[in-house]
Amino acid sequence: MRSTTLAATLVLVSACSGGHGRDDTCVHGGGTLMPLAPGPRSVNTVFMIVMENKNSSQIRANPSAPYINTVLLPAASYAAQYFNPPGIHPSEPNYLWLEGGTNYGIHDDADPASHHLPNKDHLVSLLTQAGISWKAYQEGIDGTECPLVSDGLYAARHNPLLFFDDVTNRNDSRSVACISHVRPLQELATDLQSRSVARYNFVTPDLCNDMHNSSGCPTSDPVSNGDAWLSQWVPRILQSAAYRDGGAIFIVWDESEDDGQPSGMIALSPAAKGGGYSNSIHYTHSSMLRTLQEIFDVGPLLCDAADAADLSDLFRAFP
């Protein structure tokens, strides 16, 4: 596992101010400067897998999820009190929150044509500016165009990166930048084998495999379908050089099925405490975003991420 030293980086602490449709940035606290904590870089590559619409109580000890309960949780660190932001529903604003620490004033699941944003205050924009590679792997697309329109079991609302004009060249299905970054899921297997994965990898299964649908899928049990998908794809990542050499997998559910109930968050990494370690710290999607910004050392801290606890307690070594 690589270990290099992070220089202290001053970042503008910010909280959300803006709605969608404007080039708003997130500012508060009078522009107070706050350093990201320096330390050893223990995570170099991140795989973010987002599942759908389950309370953690619907997953834990559920016989429909044998892989999660008998393989992943005993090996992982996990959060017992991880929540989607209060009152934020349905899926789309939660995915946007993972990318920018806010829902940008969006409260529905419409495709990017209805909600594409000029904002550059979001994670992959910061990664691009810092020269850090990233990709989104989406199940159900063919990779010939920027997949801006939901089709069949593919849901554009489950890829927050598509809502930003700097990724899609203002909602252009022919955007070269989008097509190069947003790729079919099956290419992840090839990229893992060829050691060509990006440092940040955002992965979303289709509507059957993310625990969303209960009809038209391999079984009528959405938890079982998602668990089976994880049992196929997580081992491919775990066996890769990218994971062994400073990798981390975060498995997150976008929102709970019932307001006020925790959803799931599982962290696997050579740098994690693992062994079934869990805590009762209150986390939200803002915690995940802050953690990603700290791992990649990119700022300013975005919107609500500035005020959130990071996930460092789940790790033995953390930036």
Q: Is 168 helix (H, G, I), strand (E, B) or coil?
A: helix
Report the C-alpha gap between 292 and 201 in whole angstroms.
11
Report the C-alpha gap between 150 and 58 in whole angstroms.
27
Show the domains of the chain with their CATH numbers. Answer: 4-314 (3.40.720.10)
CA-wise closest residue to 97 among 171, 160, 150, 165: 160
Residue 82: phi and psi, rounded to 5, are: -110, 125
Report the C-alpha gap between 185 and 196 in whole angstroms.
14
For residue 319, the model assigns a pLDDT of 80
Residue 319 identity (one-letter amino acid): P
| 61 conformational bin, left if phi > 0, alpha if psi -120 to 50, beta if neither | left
Name the pTM for this structure: 0.89
Q: What is the pLDDT along the chain (319 residues), one digit of tens a residue?
A: 333 322 222 233 333 434 444 344 453 322 332 333 444 458 999 999 999 999 999 999 999 999 999 999 999 999 999 999 999 999 999 999 999 999 999 999 999 999 999 999 999 999 999 999 999 999 999 999 999 999 999 999 999 999 999 999 999 999 999 999 999 999 999 999 999 999 999 999 999 999 999 999 999 999 999 999 999 999 999 999 999 999 999 999 999 999 889 999 999 999 999 999 999 999 999 999 999 999 999 999 999 999 999 999 999 998 8
Report the C-alpha gap between 143 and 155 in whole angstroms.
14
Report the C-alpha gap between 35 and 9 in whole angstroms.
5
Tokens representing 99 are: 């990318």
For residue 5, the model assigns a pLDDT of 27
Strand partners, 248: 46
